[in-house]
Amino acid sequence: MPVGANQVVLTGPVTRHSLWSLSESECAKDEEEGGLKKHLTPLERLTMNMCHDEKTIKEVLVGRRVGFYQVRGQIGYGSFSKVKLAFHALTKDKVAIKVLDKTRLDGQSQRMLSREISSMEALQHPNVVRLYEVVETPSRMYMVLEYAGGGDLHTRITTEGRLSDGVSKIVFAQILSAIKHMHENNVIHRDLKAENVLFTCDACIKVADLGFSTRVKHRSDILDTFCGSPPYAAPELFRDDNYVGPPVDIWAMGVLLYFMVTGTMPFRADTVSKLRRCILEGTYSIPTWMSAPCQRLIRGILRQEPADRFALDQMLGCEWLLPVEMCRPPAPLKLNPTYLIDADTNDLQEEEEEVKARMEELGITMEHINNNQGKGSRCAITGVYRILLHRAQRSRGVESLPVIEGVVKDPKRDSLRAYRGLRHTSKFCVIA
98 among annotated binding-site residues: yes
| Cβ contact 91:46 at 8 Å | no
Query: Is 347 among the residues known to form the active site?
Result: no
User: Which one is catalytic: 191, 209, 249, 414?
Assistant: 191
Binding residues: 98
Binding residues for ATP: 98
* Residues labelled as active-site residues: 191
